[in-house]
C-alpha cells in the first residue's frame, strides 16, 4: 500500500498533535479544516498526485507515550518505503503552509544569442545548491528524512524542487542535474548515501570502498552537527535511520555515531 510522507518544521506554536488523550477522538475522524495550513496543503498535494495516504509524524505517532520511542527508531522504514516525501522547505512552522509567496525580485533574466544570432533568455534558477538555503534544512530531524526518502518534492518561495538518488530538478530546469556532477556537499552526500545503500553494490565493498565511505560519513556528521534541535537528546536518535540503512546494505557495524573498525 503506497503512501507519501511529509517533512516539515513544527515551529514554536502549538501544532496539531496526536496524544493519548485525543487518540480515540481523532481515530473516529475529523475535519481537515482543523489542521494547520502545512498539513492541509500536503493533503491537497497528496490528492493531486492521486495517492490515498500520507504519513505525518505529529499525527501518526502518539507524542506522549511509549509509541514515540518505538516509532522514532523506525524512520528508515517510514521514509525509505514512501513513494515520495513532500517537503515544506520555506515554512518555519506548521502554520506557514507549503506554498510560500514568491519573491520575483530575486529573479534575473539573462539574454544570450545562439549560433544563428537569435536572442534567447535564461531565467535565474538556484540550480544545484538551491535547496540548501531553506529553513527546513536547518532542522536536525529533517537531515535523515531527506537522505532516506527515495524521492522528495519540495515547495519553497523560490520554486518547486524534485530530488531523488540520482538528480535534482527545479521547475525552471525540469531536465534535472545529475547529483554526481554537483559540487555542494549536501547533494554529494545524497549521492554517496545512495551508492552506499544500493544492494547491488554490497558485494563490491572493499577496503578502498570502506575508506571512501568513512570520508563521506565524517563529512555527513560534520554537516549534521551544525543543525538545530529542540531537544538535544534527539541527536543520536535522529541519525539512527541513516545508520540502520547503511548497516543493512553494507554490514558495517555501528555504535553510537561511530563505525567499528574506523
Stretch 122-147: mean pLDDT: 73
Quote the CA–CA distance of 94 and 49 in Å, as a whole number: 21
13: pLDDT strictly greater than 80: no
pLDDT on residue 183: 56
Measure Cα distances from 125 to 39, 122, 154, 180 in Å: 27, 9, 15, 19
Quote the CA–CA distance of 127 and 170 in Å, as a whole number: 7
Q: CB of 237 within 8 A of CB of 72?
A: yes
pTM over 0.85: no
Quote the CA–CA distance of 94 and 123 in Å, as a whole number: 31
232: pLDDT strictly greater than 80: yes
List all residues 6 or more positions away from 248 whose beta carbon is below 8 Å from its beta carbon.
197
Stretch 202-210: mean pLDDT: 63
- The total of structural domains in the chain comes to 1
* Segments forming the whole domain that contains residue 94: 4-259
Amino acid at each position: 500500500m503506497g503512501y507519501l510522507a511529509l517533512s516539515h518544521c513544527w515551529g514554536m506554536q502549538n501544532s496539531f498533535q496526536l496524544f493519548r488523550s485525543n487518540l480515540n477522538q481523532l481515530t473516529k475522524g475529523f475535519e481537515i479544516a482543523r489542521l494547520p495550513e502545512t498539513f492541509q496543503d500536503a493533503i491537497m498535494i497528496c490528492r493531486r498526485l492521486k495517492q490515498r495516504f500520507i504519513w505525518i509524524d505529529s499525527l501518526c505517532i502518539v507524542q506522549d507515550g511509549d509509541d514515540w520511542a518505538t516509532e522514532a527508531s523506525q524512520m528508515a522504514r517510514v521514509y525509505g518505503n514512501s513513494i515520495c516525501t513532500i517537503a515544506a522547505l520555506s515554512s518555519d512552522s506548521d502554520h506557514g503552509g507549503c506554498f510560500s509567496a514568491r519573491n520575483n525580485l530575486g529573479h534575473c533574466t539573462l539574454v544570450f544569442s545562439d549560433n544563428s544570432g537569435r536572442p534567447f533568455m535564461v531565467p535565474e534558477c538556484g540550480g544545484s545548491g538551491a535547496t540548501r538555503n531553506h529553513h527546513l534544512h536547518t532542522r536536525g530531524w529533517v537531515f535523515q528524512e531527506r537522505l532516506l526518502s527515495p524521492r522528495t518534492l519540495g515547495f519553497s518561495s523560490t520554486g518547486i524542487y524534485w530530488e531523488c538518488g540520482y538528480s535534482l530538478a527545479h521547475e525552471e530546469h525540469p531536465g534535472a542535474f545529475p547529483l554526481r556532477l554537483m559540487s555542494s556537499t549536501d547533494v554529494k552526500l545524497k549521492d554517496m548515501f545512495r551508492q552506499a545503500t544500493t544492494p547491488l553494490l554490497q558485494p563490491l565493498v572493499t577496503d578502498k570502498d570502506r575508506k571512501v565511505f568513512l570520508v563521506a560519513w565524517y563529512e555527513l556528521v560534520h554537516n549534521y552537527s551544525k543543525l538545530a534541535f529542540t531537544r538535544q537528546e534527539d541527536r543520536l536518535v535522529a541519525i539512527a535511520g541513516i545508520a540502520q540503512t547503511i548497516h543493512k546494505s553494507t554490514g558495517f557495524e555501528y555504535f553510537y555515531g561511530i563505525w567499528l573498525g574506523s
